[in-house]
């Protein structure tokens, strides 16, 4: 099979060439190739599949139906590999739940599903980390906890297994009573705010853990410019830490919460427009290493209520690539190879998956993306509801499986 006339774009370059695929493997890349079976990609980008390592299930409920729905939604948004966050019910903190996820990891015409291991069980004790990581868990996941003895033991397991620690920094004592970012908008709405210190103080301490135990920590969903500054400085000192930011925090500020729009209630909360612009600046400087759709859908019963009581989250993975293209690439903030690095190569590298390159000998894990088509976001609980985006995934190729949209 041949994909011809498309603009190939990976982390290395952007060029117009044909790609031959045999038995799910890329066997030739060049000009004026011929094959009896061909797909005309004129005007389209041929991209590696995106990888998102910070994905949640609907209502945080682990079920076969939710996994299947997520798999199909993700592929339509250009995402070929998902890594589930450790936040779900039940948690992936034992062999039974891990095996359940692995049983449902592959769906026809859907994204591949992997998962991070919850470091703590329901009772707050350490899960069987070593065993679960050996059985296929892609990373160790933890939210902020105050017990540094437990944190050190997590670090030791991370060191022993050579698997990264995914860490969501948010101090419960500073965040539990708040529902959005502290600031003028929260005050105007009469809503309790969450201090920026909730994130920053634990970033600093976990950097020292990474230094001491020589482990990789990926800080998830960073929102504070000060946090990025600390992470950047640590990297210059040779500490293996990375910064992930969600697409929402680059595109929206806490102004989106005005009118008590519960679809703008996400976790971590949206920050001020000043900080949002600082995040964009950090993105352009290369201080943000990976992006996420921060997909966390909810049923109506958890969203069609007061802002204070509504659940956190918005649906976004089904339009992830069009969102990134429309607001980051088309607006000139970053170019396409940089987008591929942020959304495919870097997150894949964090979990030991090959993605981000289109090379001879590599598995065909590709998205044909037409930037000239439009996509209207129809989901009523999306932060981007009714917006018209530029670009649409028209075909996904995973090995020998072709999915057309």
Query: Which distant-in-sequence residues (6+ apart) come within 8 Å of 376 by Cβ?
Result: 386, 387, 388, 389
Query: Which distant-in-sequence residues (6+ apart) come within 8 Å of 332 by Cβ?
Result: none
Which helix (H) or strand (E) element contains residue 45? strand 45-48
Tokens 């939604």 appear where? 73
Angle between helices 273-284 and 225-236 (to 10 degrees): 20
Provide mean pLDDT across the span 391-397: 98
- CA–CA separation, 330 and 327 (whole Å): 6
Instruction: Please say if the pLDDT value at position 175 is more than 80.
Output: no
Strands 79-84 and 112-115: parallel
Query: Which distant-in-sequence residues (6+ apart) come within 8 Å of 123 by Cβ?
Result: none
pLDDT of res. 6? 97
Query: Which distant-in-sequence residues (6+ apart) come within 8 Å of 32 by Cβ?
Result: 18
Question: Where does the pLDDT of residue 38 fall: very low under 50, low under 70, confident under 90, or very high at 90 and above?
Answer: very high
Order across the sheet with 45-48: list the strands: 14-16, 7-9, 45-48, 365-376, 388-398, 401-404
pLDDT tens digits, one per residue of 206-254: 999 999 999 999 999 999 999 999 999 999 999 999 999 999 999 999 9
Measured in degrees and rounded to the nearest 5, phi and psi for residue 36 equal -65, -30
CB-based burial, 186-199: b 16+ in 10 Å, e otherwise: beebebebbebebb
pLDDT of res. 348? 98
Instruction: Say whether domain 49-354 belongs to CATH 3.20.20.140.
Output: yes
The upper half-sphere exposure of residue 393, i.e. CA atoms within 13 Å in the direction of its Cβ, equals 30
**In the chain, what are the domain boundaries?**
49-354
pLDDT tens digits, one per residue of 47-97: 999 999 999 999 999 999 999 999 999 999 999 999 999 889 999 999 999
Measured on CA atoms in the order 166, 170, 173, 179, is the torsion positive or negative?
Answer: negative
pLDDT of res. 341? 98
What 3-state DSSP class applies to 244? strand
Cβ proximity of 39 and 4 under 8 Å: yes
Mean pLDDT of the chain: 96
- CA–CA separation, 403 and 405 (whole Å): 7
pLDDT of res. 174? 79
Question: Where does the pLDDT of residue 398 fall: very low under 50, low under 70, confident under 90, or very high at 90 and above?
Answer: very high
pTM passes above 0.95 = yes
Instruction: Please say if the pLDDT value at position 347 is more than 80.
Output: yes
Percentage of the chain modeled with pLDDT above 90:
95
What 3-state DSSP class applies to 170? coil
- CA–CA separation, 91 and 117 (whole Å): 8
Instruction: Please say if the pLDDT value at position 325 is more than 90.
Output: yes
């Amino acid at each position: 099979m041949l994909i011809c006339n498309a603009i190939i774009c990976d982390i290395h370059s952007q060029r117009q060439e044909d790609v031959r695929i045999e038995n799910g493997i890329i066997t030739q890349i060049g000009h004026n190739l011929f094959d009896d079976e061909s797909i005309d990609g004129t005007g389209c980008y041929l991209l590696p599949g995106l990888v998102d390592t910070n994905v949640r299930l609907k209502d945080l409920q682990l079920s076969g139906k939710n996994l299947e729905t997520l798999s199909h939604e993700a592929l339509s948004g250009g995402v070929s590999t998902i890594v589930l966050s450790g936040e779900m019910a039940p948690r992936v903190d034992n062999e039974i739940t891990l095996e359940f996820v692995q049983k449902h990891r592959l769906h026809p015409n859907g994204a591949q599903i992997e998962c991070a291991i919850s470091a703590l069980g329901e009772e707050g004790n350490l899960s069987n980390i070593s065993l679960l990581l050996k059985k296929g868990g892609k990373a160790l996941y933890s939210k902020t906890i105050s017990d540094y003895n437990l944190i050190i033991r997590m670090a030791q397991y991370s060191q022993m297994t050579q698997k990264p620690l995914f860490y969501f920094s948010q101090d419960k004592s500073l965040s539990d009573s708040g529902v959005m970012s502290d600031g003028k908008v929260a005050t105007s709405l009469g809503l309790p705010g969450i201090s920026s210190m909730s994130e920053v103080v634990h970033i600093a301490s976990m950097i020292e853990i990474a230094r001491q135990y020589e482990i990789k920590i990926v800080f998830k969903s960073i929102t504070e410019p000060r946090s990025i500054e600390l992470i950047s400085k640590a990297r210059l000192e040779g500490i293996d830490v990375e910064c992930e930011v969600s697409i929402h925090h680059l595109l929206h500020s806490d102004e989106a919460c005005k009118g008590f729009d519960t679809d703008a209630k996400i976790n971590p909360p949206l920050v001020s427009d000043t900080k949002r612009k600082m995040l964009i600046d950090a993105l352009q400087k290369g201080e943000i290493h990976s992006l996420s759709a921060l997909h966390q859908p909810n049923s109506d019963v958890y969203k069609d209520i007061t802002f204070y009581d509504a659940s956190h989250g918005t649906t976004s993975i089904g339009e992830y690539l069009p969102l990134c293209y429309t607001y980051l690439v088309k607006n000139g903030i970053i170019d396409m190879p940089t987008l591929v690095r942020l959304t495919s190569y870097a997150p894949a590298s964090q979990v030991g998956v090959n993605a981000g390159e289109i090379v001879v000998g590599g598995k065909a894990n590709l998205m044909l993306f037409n930037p000239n088509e439009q996509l209207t976001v129809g989901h009523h609980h999306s932060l981007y509801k009714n917006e018209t985006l530029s670009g649409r995934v028209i075909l996904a190729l995973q090995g020998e499986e072709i999915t057309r949209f």
